[in-house]
Structure formats: structure tokens, C-alpha cells
Amino acid sequence: MTITTLIILLLIGLVAGIFSGMIGIGGAIIIIPALIFILHMDQHTAQGTSLAIMLPPIGLLAAYNYFRAGALNLQYALIIAAAFFVGGYLGSKFAVSIPVDALRRIFAIVLILLAVKLLWYKPV
């Protein structure tokens, strides 16, 4: 793994953690698209890796199935999970300090932008 890839993985985890702590989104909205668009993972591996990040609370059996199918990058998942932990704290600190209306608008804008990007995305 290159230092660039490591930095990208840490940034994905940090951004996902911030948005998760701030507006309750992370895996499907931040991590999976980032793994696809930035690191060029296929959909199955991105989903399997995202599930492994959230392994203890929600994804143990699902991630296991992806692992058995060879569609899980455990090293990436562990690095992103560490940064996600820190980002969740930072995002929640920010979220509780801004008005509810502003938080709702941020959430809506993020969903719209990602939906538009996914709608017209063509894999490399």
C-alpha cells in the first residue's frame, strides 16, 4: 500500500466519521462512493469493505459473506475505521453547535450531490 492510498483511506474515514457524527450518514453515503470514485473499487468490494468498518454493531455476518466471496479489503476497512472513530467525534461536536435547520440543509445537500454524481457516474 502506498502512502497516498493510506492518506486517502484516512481521509475517507475522517470525512465519513465527521458526517456520521454530524448528520448520521457514513457508510452508504460517504464510504462506498469514495471507495468507488477515488480508489476505483468495484461495488461489491466497496460494500463489503464498508460493512467491515461497521462490523461490531451491524455487519458481522454480512461482512463475513463478502469476505468468503473475496470481496472485502480488511486492511482498508481497519484504517478507515480508525479515522472514522475520530471523525465521528469531531462531526458530532460540530453538529451540536449549529442550528437544527442548518444541519437539515447540510444533510439534504449532501444527499442530492451524491445522488446526482451516482446517477451519471461511468466506471473507469
Please check the confidence at residue 40 and state whether its pLDDT lies above 70. yes
Percent of the chain whose pLDDT exceeds 70: 94
| Total structural domains within the chain | 1
Distance set, CA 36 to CA 44, 93, 107, 115 (Å): 10, 28, 21, 14
Residue 50 has a pLDDT of 81
pTM exceeds 0.85, yes or no: no
The pLDDT assigned to 8 comes to 94
| CA atoms within a 13 Å half-sphere pointing along the CA-CB vector of 124 | 7
Print the domain residue range for 111.
3-120
pLDDT digits (tens, 9 = 90+) for 50-104: 878 876 656 677 778 888 999 999 999 899 989 988 988 898 888 889 888 888 8
